[in-house]
Structure 1
Amino acid sequence: MKQSGHPKQSAKQAGDACVRGRPREFDTDTVLTSASQVFWNHGYHATSIDDLCKATGLLRGSLYGVFGDKHGIMLAALDHYAEGSVARLAERLNAPVSPEEALRNALLHYARVACGLSGERSCFITNTTLEMQPGDEELRTRVAAIQRRMATLLAASVIRGQTSGAFNSTLDEKAVGDFLLCVMQGLRVLGRVAHKEDALSAIVDVAMRALV
């Protein structure tokens, strides 16, 4: 994904900049939700500015004025999508059930979702990571930050399970958090071709047994 020479903005910064310049004529969150769906469905390279204009209902000038270019729109859309994705993971892991049940349910959720998707539409974060071009340091940094947040949530879930006695107390929670993140991402990728929930659920069973 080619980078421009212009500094990119987060979704919030983009919205704030728009407000400082002239009265905002659109809702930034709504626009980014629409943009993320286009990138999610077609990928970065196959998505044109015309596709984004059609999906968001905005003219090129409006999109460029707030986000800079297509790469900037994609980064802002990824940030927007990631906020919701991370929040939903945190909610599942902190559900009012035992730590092991919460973790298992969270992983099973990704298995079910992966089986329910078709074609290229796996996960926006996963798809973007796989499509990332060498040298796109800005995107790499963004994706790495998202992955760190998810791995940290998973590590905290492991600690809760260790405290309750459900998980092996000698396990390194950071390493296990990274392992579980790999399981989550693997379920999403495998689900693109293996649409059998019981097969993916069996992978979750193996992952959970590795923690005891």
Structure 2
Amino acid sequence: MSFEQWLTQSKPVIPVIVIGELSQAVPLAQALVAGGVRLLEVTMRTSVALAAIEKIAKEVPDAIIGVGTVTKAEHIQQANDAGAQFALSPGISEKLVTKSQDLALPFMPGVMTPADIIKGIEFGLQDFKFYPAEQAGGVNMLKAFAGPFENIRFCPTGGISEHNFKNYLALNNVMAVGGSWLCPRNLLQTGDWSAIEILAKQC
């Protein structure tokens, strides 16, 4: 399936998840799914990320689990083997795109400039992660992209919070937003899954 098809089954918010302890993976995913957020991005920032993806893929069937912070082609292969259904990266490269296409794994590379977007279009891509969104011009930059890149859709991440995510979702060329505010570190550490479910329901 594609990102747009998945988003018909989930709220247009992709939580950026940093799993520090493997025991957090399943209850966190269950809480987010219960709150209506099914597209989950587990970042490759910790040693247990791949194991967390595998556990969520096996134990939370309603979750659409993906991998984030992909910077090497081997990350895509490893995540695919663990059961990831999509991949996101903070940047774009030929090796990343080629590996994802070889595996038929939906991939959203990070872009920040028109040159990045054109490079992705040359690979046949239409969906991009706009990163880091706030630092790269935010809503106004995405409005500027809408002219020359009429059929391109973005998922901005970086600086997105409960205070500004609706400003991004109001844009026609924004398909979803990504952010870590749905998974605050303090709630993860205390295992307050009901509070995370409430955050997911509120977004």
Between Structure 1 and Structure 2, the one with more helix by share is: 1
TM-score greater than 0.5 by the shorter chain: no
Between Structure 1 and Structure 2, the one with more strand by share is: 2
TM-score, normalised to structure 2, is 0.29
Larger Cα-atom Rg: 1
Work out which structure has the larger RCO, using CA pairs closer than 8 Å and 6 or more positions apart in sequence: 1
TM-score, normalised to structure 1, is 0.28
